[in-house]
């Protein structure tokens, strides 16, 4: 297991860390006989320096495809800047004291974020491989529901598992709500996190890029939007070249419509059209996934189709995310 204090300004101490199979995605209950205590260089406790990520010792744990796990941490010292994922769409249960082996936490405070957890690396067959998805809130799953595993990446993972030819392919969701490719917005930019979140991940064969709408939507004035559009194309080229240098195929996903949303301005629409046209026609990607075509209202192509719209006219809802996943040809991952 990987645990992170990447954004902490002081050390954090984890007195004890456990992993167990979760009874369900929307409960604190665990399957008691699956509970495992993790160690770090043979010890139960670990102090993580600021701006650092650590790994546990290897441990035996049966992790079934698409299963839910519960990770329980008893904290000692923490940083005022605790590293976490605000858009996890998963509930954390908070209690006082050391409850790492409790089978349920009925009186816990709840928050729909997770903290410190960076990832789980698993032993897999030599033929196993990964798809990285680099994106913003649409990939992070805004409006997909809490504890529902309703992101389009979750729906893609379920499709891959149902298909015998793709069952050994994992989907690694690197979506960050409010994220940008170039500058500002929330979290490290896609360019600044590209090495960490794409190149350094294990057994990556494919990269899907669905990002840029926040860069466009956050630009002011038509001239700025046009400049941002050109800079996004340059950024796509850079990401493609770096990924190709590491033998990763790159699939460009067109940005979905946003007509009627708070991003809806003529200059933004022009930049969005320009970038999507480049994604479709440049020939720089190994393949194109046309989410724009799949999600647009046939009668109003600048808007999301109503049945797939969450209601804010920018983010899809649960059905919209299913539609996005269903438009992906699984033959891309042979």
Q: What is the percentage of the chain residues whose pLDDT exceeds 70?
A: 100
The predicted pLDDT at position 281 comes to 98
Sheet holding 287-289, edge to edge: 169-175, 129-135, 204-210, 249-253, 287-289
Task: With beta carbons less than 8 A apart as the criterion, state whether 202 and 130 touch.
Answer: yes
Task: With beta carbons less than 8 A apart as the criterion, state whether 111 and 92 touch.
Answer: yes
pLDDT in tens, 22-50: 999 999 999 999 999 999 999 999 999 99
Q: Which two tokens stand for residue 214?
A: 């926040």
Task: With beta carbons less than 8 A apart as the criterion, state whether 302 and 255 touch.
Answer: no
- Size of the chain in residues: 334
318-326 and 152-162 helices, crossing angle to 10°: 50
The predicted pLDDT at position 67 comes to 94
Instruction: Give, rounded to a whole angstrom, the gap between the first and last alpha carbons of the chain.
Output: 29
Outline where the chain has alpha helix (H). 137-140, 152-162, 194, 213-217, 222-245, 266-281, 291-295, 318-326
Measure the CA–CA gap between 182 and 221, rounded to whole angstroms: 17
The predicted pLDDT at position 63 comes to 86
Using 50, 70 and 90 to split pLDDT, how confident is the model at 275?
very high
Residues with Cβ within 8 Å of residue 282, at least 6 apart in sequence:
233
Q: Does the pLDDT value for residue 184 go beyond 90?
A: no
Facing residues of 297 across strands? 300
Query: DSSP code of 135?
Result: E
Return the ∠ at Cα 6 (arms to 4 and 12), rounded to 5°: 60
The predicted pLDDT at position 11 comes to 98
pLDDT mean across residues, the chain: 97
Q: Which two tokens stand for residue 177?
A: 């709500």
Q: What is the mean pLDDT of residues 274-286?
A: 98
Q: What is the mean pLDDT of residues 284-309?
A: 98
Q: How far is CA 295 from the centre of its chain?
A: 20
Give rounded-to-5 percent helix, strand, coil for the chain: 30, 25, 45
pLDDT in tens, 40-84: 999 999 999 999 999 999 999 998 899 999 999 999 999 999 999
Per-position DSSP letters for 217-268, written without gaps between them:
HT--SHHHHHHHHHHHHHHHHHHHHHHHHTT-EEEEEPPPP-TTSTT--HHH
The predicted pLDDT at position 78 comes to 94
Query: DSSP code of 43?
Result: B
Q: Which domains does the chain have, with CATH numbers?
A: 2-119 (no CATH), 129-333 (3.40.50.1110)
Residue 270 CB-density burial (10 A; 0-12 exposed, 13-18 middle, 19+ buried) = middle
Q: Which two tokens stand for residue 156?
A: 């893609």
The predicted pLDDT at position 4 comes to 98
Q: How far is CA 87 from the centre of its chain?
A: 9
Residue 211 CB-density burial (10 A; 0-12 exposed, 13-18 middle, 19+ buried) = buried
Measure the CA–CA gap between 77 and 41, rounded to whole angstroms: 20
Closest CA to 200 of 115, 287, 130: 130
Measure the CA–CA gap between 10 and 49, rounded to whole angstroms: 7
Measure the CA–CA gap between 213 and 133, rounded to whole angstroms: 15
Task: With beta carbons less than 8 A apart as the criterion, state whether 165 and 91 touch.
Answer: no
């Amino acid at each position: 297991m990987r645990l992170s204090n990447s954004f902490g300004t002081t050390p954090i101490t984890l007195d004890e860390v456990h992993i167990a199979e979760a009874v369900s995605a929307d409960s604190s209950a665990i399957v008691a006989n699956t509970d495992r205590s993790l160690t770090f260089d043979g010890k139960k406790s670990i102090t993580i320096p600021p701006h650092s990520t650590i790994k546990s010792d290897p441990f035996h744990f049966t992790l079934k495809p698409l299963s839910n796990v519960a990770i329980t941490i008893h904290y000692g010292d923490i940083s005022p800047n605790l590293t976490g994922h605000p858009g996890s769409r998963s509930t954390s249960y908070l209690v006082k004291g050391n409850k790492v082996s409790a089978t349920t936490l009925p009186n816990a405070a709840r928050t729909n974020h997770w903290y410190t957890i960076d990832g789980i690396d698993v032993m897999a067959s030599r033929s196993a491989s990964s798809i990285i998805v680099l994106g913003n809130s649409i990939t992070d799953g805004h409006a997909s529901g809490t504890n529902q595993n309703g992101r389009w990446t979750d729906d893609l993972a379920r499709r891959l598992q149902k298909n015998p030819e793709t069952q050994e392919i994992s989907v690694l969701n690197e979506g960050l709500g409010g994220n940008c490719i170039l500058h500002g917005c929330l979290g490290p930019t896609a360019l600044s996190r590209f090495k960490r979140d794409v190149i350094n991940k294990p057994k990556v064969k494919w990269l899907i890029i669905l990002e840029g709408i926040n860069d466009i939507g956050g630009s002011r004035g038509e001239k700025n939007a046009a400049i941002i559009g050109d800079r996004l194309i340059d950024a796509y080229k850079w990401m493609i070249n770096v990924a190709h240098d590491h033998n990763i195929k790159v699939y460009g996903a067109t940005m979905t419509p946003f007509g009627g949303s708070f991003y809806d301005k003529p200059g933004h629409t022009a930049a969005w059209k320009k970038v999507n046209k480049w994604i479709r026609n440049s020939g720089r990607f190994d393949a194109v996934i046309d989410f724009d075509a799949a999600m647009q209202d046939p009668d109003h192509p600048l808007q999301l189709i109503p049945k797939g719209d969450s209601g804010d006219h920018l983010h899809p809802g649960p059905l919209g995310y299913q539609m996005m996943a269903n438009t992906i040809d699984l033959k891309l991952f042979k």
